[in-house]
Amino acid sequence: MFSISSIVLPRWCTTSSCRHIVRMAAVHTTIAGLSFEAVAIKPPSHPTYDLEGIIKLALAEDAGGRGDVTSMATIPFDMEVEAHFLAKDDGIIAGIVLAEMVFQEVDPSLKVKWSRKDGDYVQKGLQFGKVYGRAHSIVVAERIALNFMQRMSGIATLTKAMADAAHPAYILETRKTAPGLRLVDKWAVLIGGGRNHRLGLFDMVLIKDNHISIAGGISNALRSVDRYLEQENLQMEVEVETRTHEEVKEVLQYASQTKTSLTRIMLDNMVVPLPNGDVDVSMLKEAVELINGKFETEASGNVTFETVHKIGQTGVTYISRICHCFLWHHTGAMSLQAGTEVENYMPHNDLCGFQCSNQGFLVVFSKNGALTHSVKALDISLKIDTELALEVGRRTKRA
């Protein structure tokens, strides 16, 4: 007989911890020897965000206080297996560090090895990592690890495409991230070669149209910000949104007459769509010329794959996509389902898949993940080496 308590309650899910509300209150995270100091592309630094807490929350959400009942019923508790990460499409891999944190959180005895790092380009069919250890632990961690990797790799792949097209301008994301996953999403943007906009409401002043209207104009809003920062002895970037050349000129006039903390001017909706699907960037280019390098510039509005290159040639410093359908919502997530092997199985047209030849596992991938709209999904699988599992099972007289 198996010990029910040892199976139901893995390291991350004791009776008390499963009901514990995760408090995001850590600046730096280190898990089982994993330190971000050694990571090639580090996550953004946030004063109250706890990556380890997000992982625990995801695992607790999956376990529901009871644990993986299917694995408890079907997998011997001490069986060991080796599982391989396989790229099912071309793209930028991201979330490797986070996936390893998931495996370490579930079971520190699991051994994870990678042949690629976050930000590397992977081709379809490449086996880029493996994990060895207790089958039960691997299966419990698998979905959470892949969920993070799928989302992050989709964002990174899309960001890379946008960043390359925008050159020499830089691509920025926005605050419109999935609640609770902001640092994860923004980390993926960095991995894909983009830049981070402000992390939240606390680390940058961004004077938008509502602030301007309430303050009684751009000059009044800027004056109020400069006064506030001086009173609070704060030093941070300040950006102001402009929508016309007249507003740009007003900002420049204010800055020429007053000592200001202003660092960047947003040029909103100065890219004008044309009936033929092209865009007119002359208004944006003229605004950039007016500013003449005195401040950083940021183009916003009507940014698509088709327009981003043209926008990037205007001399603007940054290009951001404020619309809800940018990096977060039009990202190709990587989707995976696992089931028992079926003889002579042929995937449907909307699926791509493979069978582990007489090895007991069938892995099926959906081309259309929940976030897949404007970029092809980058499929990733975690293939368990069942031959090794059977060998261990025979050795322990369980198979």
Report pLDDT for 191.
Answer: 96
For the chain, give me the number of helices (H) and strands (E)? 12, 19
Mean pLDDT across 380-388: 68
Do 178 and 185 contact (CB within 8 A), yes or no? yes
Report pLDDT for 296.
Answer: 98
Instruction: Band the pLDDT of 323: cuts 50, 70, 90.
Output: very low
Decide if pLDDT at 255 tops 50: yes
Decide if pLDDT at 161 tops 70: yes
Nearest of 380, 324, 304 to residue 94 by alpha carbon: 380
Mean pLDDT of the chain: 79
pLDDT digits (tens, 9 = 90+) for 87-128: 988 999 999 999 999 999 999 999 999 999 999 999 988 999
Decide if pLDDT at 390 tops 70: no
Greatest Cα pair distance in the chain: 84
- What sections of the chain are H helices per DSSP? 4-8, 51-63, 69-74, 96-106, 135-166, 182-191, 209-215, 218-232, 245-257, 282-291, 308-312, 386-395
Mean pLDDT across 232-243: 97
Report pLDDT for 71.
Answer: 92
Give the SS3 label for residue 44.
Answer: coil
Residue 122's Cβ-side half-sphere holds a number of Cα atoms within 13 Å equal to: 29
User: Could you give the percent of the chain with pLDDT greater than 90?
Assistant: 65
Decide if pLDDT at 152 tops 50: yes
pLDDT digits (tens, 9 = 90+) for 5-20: 222 233 444 333 333 3
User: Could you give the percent of the chain with pLDDT greater than 70?
Assistant: 72
Decide if pLDDT at 25 tops 60: no
Determine the Cα–Cα distance for residues 226 and 241; give it in Å rounded to an integer: 16
Instruction: Band the pLDDT of 299: cuts 50, 70, 90.
Output: very high
Mean pLDDT across 231-250: 97
- Radius of gyration for the chain, computed over Cα atoms and rounded to the nearest angstrom: 25
Report pLDDT for 326.
Answer: 45
Determine the Cα–Cα distance for residues 395 and 136; give it in Å rounded to an integer: 18
Report pLDDT for 176.
Answer: 83
Report pLDDT for 374.
Answer: 38
Give the SS3 label for residue 391.
Answer: helix
Decide if pLDDT at 40 tops 90: no
